Amino acid sequence: MHIKIEEAIQRLQRGEVVAIPTETVYGLAADARNTEALQQVFDTKQRPNTNPLIVHIASQSAAHSWVDDFLPLAQSLAEAFWPGPLTLVLKAKQDVLPIVTANQPTVALRVPSHPIALDLLTQSGLGLAAPSANRYTQLSPTRSEHVVAGLGVHIPVIDGGPCRVGLESTIVEIYEGADGEVQWQLLREGMITRDEVQAVAQQAPVTKQQATLTPGQHHLHYAPQTALMLCESREGMLSQAADLVAQSKKIAIMSIGEIEPIKGCHVQALPCKPVGYAQQLYDALHQLDHKRVDIILAEVPPNAMAWSAIHDRLARAAHSLP
């Protein structure tokens, strides 16, 4: 059910859930100070309560409602990348609800750059907890149609068009090490790369000794329903395709750049540059899922930092292969 921003604000203030566009993927939003509203997010997604939520805020200054100490390193990263696809995990204030943090001592914060998300945050005055608006372990939505297909027609959704980034935000944790030094570590790759974070942080990442739980990161995430096989080269992919077609398998091919039509295959050609590829990846996988093919063959992208988050999501998507 498509709704306008004014109705979304009223619903959110009443403690209801609304699917909203962000620049990364669509999120299923609720008031981050309302436990019952947040429980509806978990119920709608069928997501276990052990998985914490990202709180979306209107600006860097709103971070002080959620953390006591927005460390200078967090400030530098926020100034460089907010509003935008970077989530910062920091020690939470005492009053942040346990349903948001999944009882961990930290909270995840992000200022999204999608104008509708920013309008909602500014006009409602709320912090909005929003996981991706898909059922637990399924593909993230990058168009409002994906939300409706995944969560059902009764879900109120604001249509903000296709998401500009197309992959979930980069997650960086900022923490004080045993020696009191402030460190950072990468918890989830995204289109803001490790190198870009490091250039602003002016220090290399250090893995926390006591591992941080990121329950939403297990291998089943981000997977399409159809099995996906990664192919190291185009030649390899084409010969694999020929073998499978000979066995009467229904196959689809996801190429990087244009490719000649192949008899008996659905072909989905994705852009050659990482930004364009990321924008279209989930939409391509959603579409190929609908074709009900036996297997998707995907060309592996180049081995370069700009493709790193795409490698990560393709590897997860391929995990379901028996």
Torsion of CA 139, 184, 73, 66, to 10 degrees: 60
Closest-CA residue to 172 (of 199, 143, 142): 199
Window of 6-14, 215-223, 249-257, 276-284 that interacts with ligand TXA by CB under 6 A: 215-223
Q: Which is nearer to ligand TXA, 11 or 188 (CB)?
A: 188
Residue 189 within binding range of ligand TXA, rule CB under 6 A: no
Residue 170 within binding range of Mg ion, rule CB under 5 A: no
Q: Which is nearer to ligand TXA, 17 or 53 (CB)?
A: 53
Residue 132 within binding range of Mg ion, rule CB under 5 A: yes
Torsion of CA 253, 226, 17, 191, to 10 degrees: -40
Binding to ligand TXA (CB under 6 A) within 3-22 occurs at 22
Kindly state the DSSP code that residue 14 receives in the 8-state scheme: T
Q: Which two tokens stand for residue 64?
A: 């002080």
Q: How many whole angstroms separate alpha carbon 284 and alpha carbon 104?
A: 35
Binding to ligand TXA (CB under 6 A) within 298-317 occurs at none
Taking CB within 5 to 8 Å according to partner kind, which of ligand TXA, Mg ion, none is near residue 13?
A: none
Cis ω for the linkage preceding 83 (within 30 of 0) = yes
In the complex, least distance from residue 164 CB atom to ligand TXA, rounded to whole angstroms: 12
Residue 24 within binding range of ligand TXA, rule CB under 6 A: yes
Residue 110: count other Cβ atoms within 10 Å of its Cβ: 26
Taking CB within 5 to 8 Å according to partner kind, which of ligand TXA, Mg ion, none is near residue 25?
A: ligand TXA
Q: How many whole angstroms separate alpha carbon 247 and alpha carbon 65?
A: 60
- Catalog residues that contact ligand TXA under the rule CB under 6 A: 22, 24-25, 27, 51-54, 87, 89, 101, 104, 106-108, 110, 130-132, 168-169, 171, 187, 212, 214-217
